[in-house]
Amino acid sequence: MTDNLSRILIAAALCAIGNVVHAQDADVNADRARANFARPVVLAADDVRAFAAPPPGFADAHAGTAQGRVEPFTYQSAVTGTRRTANVWLPPGYDKTHRYPVLYLLHGIGGNQDEWRGYVRANDVLDNLAAAGRIVPMIVVMPNGRALADDRPPPPDRVFTPENAAGFARFEHDLLESLIPAVDAAYPTLADSGHRALGGLSMGGGQALNFGLKHPQAFAWVAGFSPAPNTEDAATLAAEAHQAGGGLKLLYLSCGNRDGLINVAQGVHRQLKAQGVAHVWNVDGYGHDRDSWAENLYHYAQLLFR
């Protein structure tokens, strides 16, 4: 079977079971992903760091530092028809009688709700920032961004498939219509766009840009870290950001200069620049890995809700 024919058949099968498949998602396969990661990095003069490096140990647990609590949170999804699980970080000193802004952090194509905590050690980054008084106290929700009835990370040979990628596109409705209302009902949140941030790494970075800029009524703070090829057309994203105007408090974009996917982020940055949309553009010295994501969480979290 030709590549193209099998792609069409897969897309047709997914449509038949009620999925909406983006054109670019139907194109996902392991060879294409490998080729994307292997693209040569071509840097422009403004592809540089926007911040000083964090202090040593910023992403490590330290004895004597107060820790936030990470707890599982389950909710009923109208998209998948199943109960789904997110991890929620509650800041040190969490007090149910206060109201908190909320950051949603989305994982990559092979991960799940444990990736930000387990691989990036987001909870350690956040604990250290909170102890240093460098973040506004916030609730951080780390969902499973693969909105499929079976949302477990696929085996390695099934990661770069249209079926897996389609779950990430479907998460838009799960996030907006099921997860956010459930979080706002269960926790003492400030439930308006000015107090709700979205961010993600790689596949989750694409989701954050796609969903965040499309829905400015829901998110005033949006970040894509090393966004993947699921990222929407850059000119469309920039036009959405432009249209959001002052409703968009912060748009944050980052990538490592040793990441073969950097052309995706560069494309978005250049369109934002062309359309006069203010944003952070941070190009660090890392690859497609946790070093970049932990550092960018460190920088992004400090800018939120100010």
Instruction: For the CB of residue 71, give the shortest distance to ligand FER in the complex, in Å.
Output: 25
Instruction: For the CB of residue 89, give the shortest distance to ligand FER in the complex, in Å.
Output: 21
> Virtual CA dihedral for 210, 211, 214, 219, nearest 10 degrees?
-130
Bridge pairing between strands 280-284 and 250-256: parallel
In 3-state terms the chain splits into helix, strand, coil percentages (rounded to 5) of: 40, 15, 45
Which x/- pattern over 104-143 shows residues binding ligand FER (rule: CB under 6 A)?
----xx----------------------------------
The reply on whether position 165 binds ligand FER by CB under 6 A is: yes
- DSSP per residue over 186-221, as a string? HS-B--SGGGEEEEEETHHHHHHHHHHHH-TTT-SE
Residue number with CB closer to ligand FER (91 or 111): 111
Q: Where are the alpha helices (DSSP H) in the chain?
A: 3-16, 23-26, 30-37, 115-118, 122-131, 162-173, 180-186, 203-214, 234-244, 262-274, 290-303
Which amino acid would we find at residue 190?
L
Instruction: For the CB of residue 108, give the shortest distance to ligand FER in the complex, in Å.
Output: 3
Instruction: For the CB of residue 56, give the shortest distance to ligand FER in the complex, in Å.
Output: 26
Residue number with CB closer to ligand FER (121 or 290): 290
Residue number with CB closer to ligand FER (198 or 277): 198
Which x/- pattern over 201-240 shows residues binding ligand FER (rule: CB under 6 A)?
-xx------------------------xxx----------
Distance from C-alpha of 138 to C-alpha of 207, rounded to nearest angstrom: 21
Residue number with CB closer to ligand FER (180 or 203): 203
Applying CB under 6 A, the residues found at the interface with ligand FER are 28, 32-33, 36, 108-109, 165, 202-203, 228-230
